[in-house]
Copies of this chain bind each other. A is one copy, B any other.
């Protein structure tokens, strides 16, 4: 019985493991809404409309729950970047779209993004989204859009720059607005253009 939680029907028999996904979603919603990247097991349980001990049927402890949140978040980031790339046929446009999607994820879910990259070890899905950028730059080189001589190294430069933009907090983004000629998508496109050596 809690003010912030909705009344929840217990899962039907055999579907008890559904709670696992519900809990991960609750944790994600909590982080995204509060902007606080520290999750408490009790808080997540409250949000999911379930008692705290219930979580122990699905996660050994709080650390395992946060790991699940991170894995799910990296997957989401990778998917959103992948979607952006797929939406474009021209490789240079695909690269710009990838960068924009990456930054957008960081801005839309800033606490979560911070949590993802504050972790001591990245999930393989972190590497996956970098690899997507790298292969898009490869495509640019092949199509003649980029004159990069070391696409993988340049992909790293691009990724670092996108990471820098993604972790920009609000005051920095306000500076950005005051910059005049270069607006937000222009900023990231210009960085990409110079770092990926687009023509």
Give the B-binding residues of A (Cβ under 8 A).
38, 114, 117-122, 126, 130, 150, 152-153, 156-157, 160-165, 167-172, 175-176, 179-182, 187, 190-191, 194-195, 197
Contact = CB atoms under 8 A, between A and B. Distances in A.
A136 to B, nearest CB: 17
A174 B122 CA distance: 11
Nearest to A38: B38
A118 to B, nearest CB: 6
A183 to B, nearest CB: 11
11 contacts: A120-B170, A122-B169, A153-B179, A156-B175, A157-B194, A161-B164, A162-B164, A163-B167, A164-B167, A191-B195, A194-B195
A195 B129 CA distance: 23
Nearest to A35: B120
B169 A118 contact: yes
Given A160-B164, A191-B195, 15 more contacts: A117-B169, A120-B169, A120-B170, A130-B175, A150-B181, A153-B179, A156-B175, A156-B179, A160-B187, A161-B191, A163-B164, A163-B167, A164-B164, A167-B167, A194-B197
Nearest to A195: B194
Contacts of A164: 160-165, 167
A160 B191 contact: yes
Contacts of A190: 157
Contacts of A181: 150, 153
A1 to B, nearest CB: 31
A171 B156 CA distance: 13
A163 B153 contact: no
Which residue among A164, A179, A180 has the maximum number of chain B CB atoms within 10 Å of its CB?
A164
